[in-house]
Each structure stands twice: as C-alpha cells, then as structure tokens.
Amino acid sequence: MPLHNDRLLRALRREPVDRTPVWLMRQAGRYLPEYRATRARAGSFLAMAKTPELACEVTLQPLARFPLDAAILFSDILTIPDAMGLGLYFVEGEGPKFEHPLRTADDIARLGVPDMESELRYVMDAVRLIRRELRDADGIGRVPLIGFSGSPWTLACYMVEGGGSDNFPTIKAMALNDPAALHRLLSVNTDAVIAYLAAQRAAGAQVLQVFDTWGGALSPAMYREFSLPYLQRIARELPRGEGDAHAPLILFGKGNAPYLEDLAASGCEGLGVDWTVTLEEAARRTGGQVALQGNLDPAMLYGAPEAIATQVRLTLDSYAAGNGGSRAGHVFNLGHGLSPDMDPQHVAALVAAVHEHSARPYRPA
C-alpha cells in the first residue's frame, strides 16, 4: 500500500518524519463555501452523507485548498444507530435527532449489529470511491484515508437522549437505575463499532479513529465503568491487518486527560487529546507507548494568522519538550473540530505554520 505522502502512517508508528503531519477534525464542513454549495445541491447533510459521489466530493474539498497530510471520510458517527433502526434526522439549528430513542431495557434488548455491506453499504461505497479518487495518475495514493466511528459511550448518549444534550439526564439516570441495560447497550455498540471499523478498513480506510466526544462528561468512576472498558475492548479486538495493510487505531477523547495512562496501555497506536492538557505532559505520562494527536484549541483560529502561527509553534514544541526533544510520534490536529464560522485563510495559516516550524529541529527555549 505505497503512498506519495505517508507522514501520518510514519508518525503513528513513531518514526521520524521530515515534517509533522497535520489534518483537522471536521476539515470538510460548513466553513468552506464549496462545502455549502455541495450541501445546497444535495438538499441536506444526510443526502450528502448517504450519496457516495457527494461524500467523496466533500472529502476531497479541503485537500484541494490546503496541503493536508490525510483525508477523512465524510460521514457521521450516527450512521450506526441510524442503521440499527433509530431513524436519524437533522433539525436546522438543533443538530441530530432520533425518531425512536432508546428508553427501556426492552428497546435495548431488541438491538442488533447492522450488516455493514447492506445497511451501511453507502459508507463502504464512499470509502472505496474516495480511495480511487485519491490515486494519482501513477496509481499511487496521495495521502492516507482515515475512517472513523463514534465510541460506544458517545453513541449511547445520542441513542438514549434522542439527540444532543447538555447534561445527559436520561442516560445518567439509566447508569444509576438500570446499569445492566446500559452495559448491554454499550456491549452491542462495541460489537457494531468493531464491525464498522473492520468493514471500513476492508473497503480501503488506512487509519481508523474512534471519537469519544462525551467521555469527559462522566465522573472518573463512571468513565471507568461506562466508557474506558469498551474503548479497551475495541483496541484489543479490532483487526488492523499486517505489514503494509496495517491500519493504526487512534482513540480521540474530549476530556480524556485524566485517563491518558490507561488509554495509552490499551493497545491503540495513537491517542487524540484536547487542549486541556499540554502535549509535554501528555508525552511524559504516556512515555512513548503511543503516538499523540492534537491539540491546539480550535478557538485559536479566531486569532490573526501571525498569532495562530505562534500558537502552532508552541504546540509543536510542547510535544517535543515532553518527548526527549524529538518531534517523532506527533500528529498535529486541533483538540476538537473546526466550526462553521472559522476563516479558511486562518486554516491555511495553521497548516503552513505546522509544516514550516516542524521541518526545523526542536531547540529548547
């Protein structure tokens, strides 16, 4: 599986690279006028995500603008519960919703793992098409393609609440009042996530990321009961392939800073962190067991290009300071996704600053 640009794969193996690879969560999205144009043509976000040609088109849009080191499949984490029969829809300005949220142990007992090549075929078709379109004239891929899934806990939050939530009242009540039902849901979700990521890899995804967006909403005791064990099972059981076909796994978690040691020992290859911990501390605490991904606060993109470049340099050097002076094993990213009101020119400044500064060796201040 040769690639013209394999910096991301090398960094995830903690091998030295000429420049730190960079990609951005939500790099395809509403901050890009060309995305808004495709979305208007498609009629809705879901129509776009469920039509492989359109999903492919928007996946490639940020790569046409910025010299990013990876593509990420354009899709959503809520495709799995949708395929389980919960009925995903979007209300303008309110985010995702389900027609049939899970409210009782009976609702949960009826759930099964969807068939990946029938109910989620549109996702696998998009992966296959994107891989084809990423090939240059010589048949070799430009950059790797990242596939992804939500974590069992984060999916459960949407499935039980019926949409986004500030305080997660329904699922936290379930954690207290019927923990066995919640564990059964998390267990089915884990089987589904493993099957989903394995199918994306079989279709051509070269790196796999799990988004545990809401793990940080749990108390430490509840995180250790309802999120961590299921992430650990994914890291243990997900088949990654051998040699050239090996697809590394990145576990990203919002608010996962208290658990870096446990996550690094899970068997994942990469750990994605938000901006509430310095990369210097994260690198020291994980001691070279995994590559680290992150972690610029996305709000830094509201600053001027010069200020963004300074923040990028500080982020890169923080990693090196905690990693014995070496930039190896770092994947640059934001600590969470881009927002619709961000300026594409500021994103360009960020990407340029990563490539420029990381090409130079680390010099302690």
Nearer to ligand CP3, 48 or 353 (CB): 48
Helix axes 169-177, 179-203, angle to 10 degrees: 120
In the complex, the smallest distance separating the C-beta of residue 129 from ligand CP3, rounded to whole angstroms, is 15
Nearer to ligand CP3, 336 or 346 (CB): 336
Active-site annotation holder among 39, 142, 233, 327: 39
* Residue 95 contacts ligand CP3 per CB under 6 A: yes
* Residue 45 contacts ligand CP3 per CB under 6 A: yes
Among this protein's residues, is 19 annotated catalytic? no
* Residue 213 contacts ligand CP3 per CB under 6 A: yes
Strands 207-212 and 88-91 come out as unpaired
* Residue 317 contacts ligand CP3 per CB under 6 A: no
Among this protein's residues, is 360 annotated catalytic? no
Among this protein's residues, is 158 annotated catalytic? yes
Among this protein's residues, is 39 annotated catalytic? yes
* Residue 337 contacts ligand CP3 per CB under 6 A: yes
Laid out side by side, the sheet with 207-212 consists of 71-72, 145-150, 207-212, 249-253, 270-272, 291-296, 330-334
Nearer to ligand CP3, 269 or 274 (CB): 274
Residue of closest CB approach to ligand CP3: 213
Of residues 158-177, which lie at the interface with ligand CP3 (CB under 6 A)?
A: 164
* Residue 272 contacts ligand CP3 per CB under 6 A: no
Inter-CA distances, 102 with 9, 54, 78, Å: 38, 31, 14
Long-range contacts of the stretch 45-52 (C-beta < 8 A, 24+): 45/76, 45/90, 46/88, 46/89, 46/90, 48/74, 49/74, 49/75, 49/76, 49/79, 49/122, 50/122, 51/122, 52/122, 52/125, 52/126, 52/128, 52/129
* Residue 76 contacts ligand CP3 per CB under 6 A: yes
Angle among Cα 236, 239, 244 to the nearest 5 degrees reads: 125
Active site residues: 26, 30, 39, 76, 158
Judged by the rule CB under 6 A, the positions of this chain that interact with ligand CP3 are: 25-30, 39, 45, 72, 74, 76-78, 95-96, 148, 164, 211, 213, 336-337
